[in-house]
Amino acid sequence: MRTRRLVLVGVVLALVGAACGGDARSESAASAPVTVRLGYFPNVTHATALVGVEKGLFAQALGPDRLETRTFNAGPAAIEALLSGALDATYIGPNPAINAFTRSKGEAIRIISGATSGGASFVVRPDINSPADLKGAKVASPQLGGTQDVALRAWLRSNGVSADVVPQENAQTLETFRAGTIAGAWVPEPWATRLVREGGGKVLVDEADLWPGGRFVTTHLIVRTAFLKEHPDTVRRLLEGQVAADAFVNANPAEAQAAANAAIEKATGKKLGAEIIEASWKHLTFTNDPVASSLTEAAANATEVGLLPKADLTGIYDLGPLNGVLRGRGLPEVAS
């Protein structure tokens, strides 16, 4: 009897020890903090990211994980950082995301959420009234192969206009427009509003007018596929931050505008006028929906202007984690 009792005690202690040891290892592995390196642009079209970082919504949602941020002027530079492993996720426009997906044969990135629809315009000199007035003119876009660059080249092509497209940073575009060395520029907010208000230009094309219902993806959130596979819980927490930021931006526009402006000042050293932010805001829709229907046409436009081979975008979206977060909050799911 005594022997049997000792055996039972030994088994129980062994099981407890194994369980404790297993739990300790599991908890240690689960609680090891992950650094999320997140990119975004100091543009109003990236307000969800700007506000989410500035108000600490991402940091709060990430919990034990650590957030590192980096800003970019345009998409191609952010994609290079992502493909080199210097970034884990970034807010970005559709065409750079398409480029990264096709260059990597569908392996490198996944689109995991929307962020912004709308907010891009072709602003020109007051004397330009039609596409024909742009023949031989010099016009600007933020960066070769970027979202607005493709939109500009596609619009020029569809209107049979031969113009000299000069990619340059948005701040430089405002100066060259003022100086009269460019006739116009296809730019995101707040630069479209600034070209009008500070550069004396006018809107020739509001890009929203070119899309059904005025809805097209301007900014969405992408992640390295490898990071998504290695750290699914961290990505889910990042998406919690995205959804929280989207809710805050839509519920508190005045406070969100102030937060976005503060973030822009930190990134660029210059604060925008409150009236510029407010005017820009009216052209934007902040949404978790990536407006997937507009992505195929964006890819087709890039192909037509010679910046991208014909692309198969099957698998570019992974919206399962986002929809899980939305369900948890009682919000409508989005479709790819």
Residue type, 229: K
Rg of the chain over Cα atoms, rounded to whole angstroms, equals 24
pLDDT value, residue 145 = 85
289 CA to centre of own chain? 12
pLDDT value, residue 315 = 95
| Residues of the chain with confidence (pLDDT) below 70 | 1-31
Q: Class of 34-117+215-328 per CATH?
A: alpha beta
pLDDT value, residue 125 = 97
CB 264 within 8 A of CB 271: yes
34-117+215-328 and 120-213 share one fold = yes
Distances (CA, A) of 41 to 66, 142, 243, 296: 20, 12, 18, 23
Q: So where are the chain's domains? A: 34-117+215-328, 120-213
Share of the chain above pLDDT 90, in %: 79
Phi, psi dihedrals of residue 151, rounded to the nearest 5°: -60, -45
Look up the pTM and report it: 0.84
Looking at residue 28, the DSSP 8-state letter turns out to be: H
pLDDT value, residue 128 = 97
pLDDT value, residue 9 = 38
Distances (CA, A) of 63 to 48, 262, 263: 19, 24, 22
Q: Class of 120-213 per CATH?
A: alpha beta
- Find the Cα–Cα–Cα–Cα dihedral 194, 200, 204, 210, rounded to 10°: 10
